[in-house]
Structure 1
């Protein structure tokens, strides 16, 4: 079957998860707060009673990343949650004594063990990921690696083997990714694998099935689910036939129809599991050396949920965020719009803190909704993706949507740092244009404005970004996980424009690497490896995508520490280990700068510390 998605509507990302909208509008946030309180009595989080280490670390390899440089030092002294001194061991001992910290523990790292600043994830989605973590995991990942044998047969085997839910419940799943299944031949050309209603009927005819794709723009259903969706939403036969023709539910409106029809008790299960799922995300982050996570697209109700969570749980990971808006009208709303910008203070880092604003310009390249200058090479034909804003009389855009320029200018006029999600080359081009107009001669470096993903970048746009002071945060998994699909089927030659890390560094920009959880798994070391190898992991020959864009290990390490802190507006306090900064650090079993490039992701994390407090020990 040819891909029937015609890219109408609003392109989704994790912060625009259609399930979240239904959850939020049906008292889901209040239900979560009630669920937390129902588990009482239990002690509130007693962070102030946790001991902070007073210690000098020496031996092994200590890379404090001062000024973003990888140079090692002999010793590091820590007390009262902060770095006291770095340098020669004798000088650090003297400084500790001078600061009244003479009763320090001397910790000698073993040969090869490496101490680094805490690793930073500058673009994740915590709450939306946690909401569906208890559903069937149908993603292509095993840990941080692509699993072998990922295919429709794999999906169907899981569905066929799943127990029939009680009380007429549905089989619910997430993470389905046809772009990482074996390609199919269509008229002599390779195409992405397709899943339709008949496919799921064959696997599970007896139970309603609802599976959300990894790109979040499609929900795959079977006939049993479609009948219930028709009844719950009073859909006409014409609408039902449209869905049958497409083979799935497409975009927010249709996916919302499906979510509405899911039994209420299963929606309530989201609330029941939410706290433990959030805890699992933070636990995994600590196990992978992450000390700060930046939520790239929070809504106020999500902030309330995370603050409530932290009332009763240890603060294992710092959490910052960018608040998401969709129009200038939302930004300028007198009641719940955007206030004037005020810079962060150190005490904010112990809360859930806002550091920026987020806009989403387009969709997902692997989901075929990233907005392109030229149509996608693969099916369906005449597909240019989706732009979530109007942009003059530009082709393939919708004039009824909020104006892109007005929305960007409204945020910048209020003084806020801005993150704009842009995947397709035309989305990136338009994003640079609206930044240029809104900045009106100011440098984007003043507020560290970012382009998120910035996936397909031409030479001209790379130079324009640098001139304007815009920095990219690259979803480097586009190269490692989907590079082969982009190169072989989705883009072909244009895949060479993906994640141009080295180009941007050579032009003088600062870059970061991110996971976009749940799009790819958490793991800065894995991201570092993908940036220094650019191996297309689905390629039978493990081919490299555009070797010219490979980073050195030192450059990649800076991107997940020093420059990640800078992009998140917290570099005054974290991102490097210099005197006076917070003692956020990790200890690894091996030095990521010294090991073979293809072994970086598998380096064991031995310990993770936040503000001098031990948060993880292997």
Structure 2
């Protein structure tokens, strides 16, 4: 693999999915329209989008998170899809009876059952995730837990056992993650520096003798692993003057790298398989929403929406029950995209019944575990002289002559149109440049008013943390970097710099508001799991489950606020969701146990979600709950 700080390719990650570019066509939308209409015919006609009537809860633990407080109340009442009364039992009972509530609509929670506002995923990728759910799942997750047997051999055996449906089909896999495989050592010498597992063209060639093309996407989406049969079919999609050496070059390199190499490969995948992905897309979107409901999620924020994704989600919403609120930030990839934006339109309560835009997204670098996050110092592992990749030209004077989009001009244009901005920045150098462009564009005004964000915000120095708070930029942390990948970062990728990862406590101590996200499909959806990882900071691949930088552990109360109240604030919907104050929407969950008092914080992710309600409609019920 060859990465360097002069690479002009666009860094890929879940925020900038190279596969989706091939589906940004009206033809794709037409195919999806046919698919969603067919899918809708199979659904129950009894599903109503109207809210339920009156219901009141008391007993158990009720934490409405009003103003971000975790204080308990005795009772809460809902009517017509909204919170009608909240407070002490006698007052709420009186108000609900006056409204006409019948006695059998007063439900008493059992001792440990806990009612909370609906949990919020502030950064996911819905349609791109659904698009590859029909491929072989070669990821390391079983639910929200790591597969202890995940290894290079595990991945190769999964591929070897797979049989294509018909002649000519490719073997397509997704989720391959060398950073979660056992480390490799030079000559098997444990005294040598550990390296990430390496998947080569030759290794894939050895799996089959039938000339079936193999194409496996990495979890970070910056790399695609292929065999020679695939390379031969991809070759014609490259410029004529590059074809002669294409197969040899990629075989030596080990895999396809970045957009310029991966995008032509998608063009070579058989049309029938691409159409099959669109055919099954509605069902996989439904699975994403259903899984999220089972984990207590009532709203998801698509952090990188493109036009056809948006149209597809709007169609999905038109033909299926509203079991998930969906907001988004529109992906902006050039100065022209920024200039084409309309002026910001404030969100309304009615917006929450639709697929609504609340921001604009920029992607400045790649993935740290994919070795493409943009760093000020080179990565500690091979390849050498790798600082990651940066997607923009940056010059505060806007006079840069480059083929890359001008970063400062893009940010200035978007801010002048009034839009909140989410900037994807993983590497510490990418974060520092993001702060530069924010500070220049804001011209002394605090970014807090528009709730501008840095996404992932992975490697953060003390200086940058203080500067972020001074400028008024809030972070959203991909906390799985600590829980899932922390051990790889500590032992191989960053080593001593790994203490800078996901500095939740540092930002809270600076009076910042933080959120936690999954970056689905990078890590599994599940705010309770993210809460657990922020509280414990246990490196789950560590043989002894060591903690990564214990000083950055946050309290359960702080973590709960991050996945409810502050998540709603970052997504610009806190006027209606994220807490359960009077007149807010009836988006809430009931858990089997209280995450603030469960005896072992390492079990927070496994607390059963008993019910999930969206707008006063029951959207999930645990089968044993009655």
Query: Shorter-chain TM-score: which interval?
Result: over 0.9
Change (3 A) 1:405 1:205: farther
Matched, 1:347 2:350: yes
| Structure 1 residue 541 displacement after superposition | 1.0
Matched, 1:439 2:442: yes
Alignment of 1:293-304 (within 5 A): 293-304=300-311
| Structure 1 residue 547 displacement after superposition | 0.3
Equivalent in the alignment of 1:563? 566
Matched, 1:190 2:197: no
Alignment of 1:130-529 (within 5 A): 130-186=130-186, 188-206=192-210, 207-233=212-238, 236-332=243-339, 337-392=340-395, 399-529=402-532
Q: Secondary structure at the match of 1:184?
A: coil
Q: Would you say the 8 A contact 1:4–1:247 is kept in 2?
A: no
Matched, 1:589 2:592: yes
Change (3 A) 1:49 1:151: closer
Q: For each residue in 1:326-362, what CA deviation from the matched residue of structure 2 results, as whole angstroms up to 9, or x when unmatched?
A: 1222111xxxx21111110001000000001100010
| Structure 1 residue 85 displacement after superposition | 1.1
Q: Would you say the 8 A contact 2:49–2:321 is kept in 1?
A: no
Q: For each residue in 1:290-330, what CA deviation from the matched residue of structure 2 results, as whole angstroms up to 9, or x when unmatched?
A: 00000001012111000101111111010000001012221
- Counterparts of 2:215 and 2:53 in 1: how far apart (Å)? 49
Q: Would you say the 8 A contact 2:51–2:615 is kept in 1?
A: no
- Counterparts of 2:349 and 2:364 in 1: how far apart (Å)? 32
Change (3 A) 1:398 1:536: farther
- Counterparts of 1:463 and 1:40 in 2: how far apart (Å)? 50
Q: Secondary structure at the match of 1:14?
A: coil
Equivalent in the alignment of 2:72? 72
- Counterparts of 1:285 and 1:552 in 2: how far apart (Å)? 24
Q: Would you say the 8 A contact 2:446–2:471 is kept in 1?
A: yes
Moved more, 30-39 or 151-160: 30-39
- Counterparts of 2:90 and 2:108 in 1: how far apart (Å)? 14
Moved more, 577-586 or 20-29: 20-29
| Structure 1 residue 236 displacement after superposition | 1.5
- Counterparts of 1:245 and 1:523 in 2: how far apart (Å)? 39
- Counterparts of 2:29 and 2:46 in 1: how far apart (Å)? 24
Alignment of 1:21-32 (within 5 A): 21-25=21-25, 27-32=27-32
Change (3 A) 1:46 1:565: farther
Change (3 A) 1:240 1:296: same
| Structure 1 residue 228 displacement after superposition | 1.4
Moved more, 101-110 or 600-609: 101-110
Q: Secondary structure at the match of 1:297?
A: strand
Q: Secondary structure at the match of 1:16?
A: coil
Q: Secondary structure at the match of 1:57?
A: strand
Q: Secondary structure at the match of 2:206?
A: helix
Aligned residue pairs: how many? 610
Report the TM-score when normalising by structure 2.
Answer: 0.95
Q: Secondary structure at the match of 1:243?
A: helix
Q: Secondary structure at the match of 1:571?
A: coil
2:578 to 565, 575, 580: 575
| Structure 1 residue 400 displacement after superposition | 2.1
Change (3 A) 1:147 1:39: closer
- Counterparts of 1:41 and 1:385 in 2: how far apart (Å)? 47
| Structure 1 residue 33 displacement after superposition | 1.3
Q: Which runs of no fewer than 5 residues in structure 1 stay unpaired?
A: none
Q: Secondary structure at the match of 1:241?
A: helix
Equivalent in the alignment of 1:81? 81
- Counterparts of 1:388 and 1:264 in 2: how far apart (Å)? 30
Q: Would you say the 8 A contact 2:202–2:251 is kept in 1?
A: no
Equivalent in the alignment of 2:52? 52
- Counterparts of 2:194 and 2:27 in 1: how far apart (Å)? 45
Equivalent in the alignment of 2:113? 113
RMSD: 1.9
Q: For each residue in 1:482-534, what CA deviation from the matched residue of structure 2 results, as whole angstroms up to 9, or x when unmatched?
A: 00000000000111000000000000100000000000000000000000000
Alignment of 1:7-18 (within 5 A): 8-18=8-18
- Counterparts of 1:193 and 1:42 in 2: how far apart (Å)? 44
Q: Secondary structure at the match of 1:191?
A: coil
- Counterparts of 1:49 and 1:213 in 2: how far apart (Å)? 39
| Structure 1 residue 100 displacement after superposition | 4.7
Moved more, 98-107 or 535-544: 98-107
Matched, 1:608 2:612: yes
Q: Would you say the 8 A contact 2:592–2:608 is kept in 1?
A: yes
| Structure 1 residue 95 displacement after superposition | 1.8
- Counterparts of 1:173 and 1:50 in 2: how far apart (Å)? 40
Q: Would you say the 8 A contact 2:3–2:388 is kept in 1?
A: no
Q: Secondary structure at the match of 1:599?
A: helix
| Structure 1 residue 13 displacement after superposition | 2.3
- Counterparts of 2:616 and 2:257 in 1: how far apart (Å)? 47
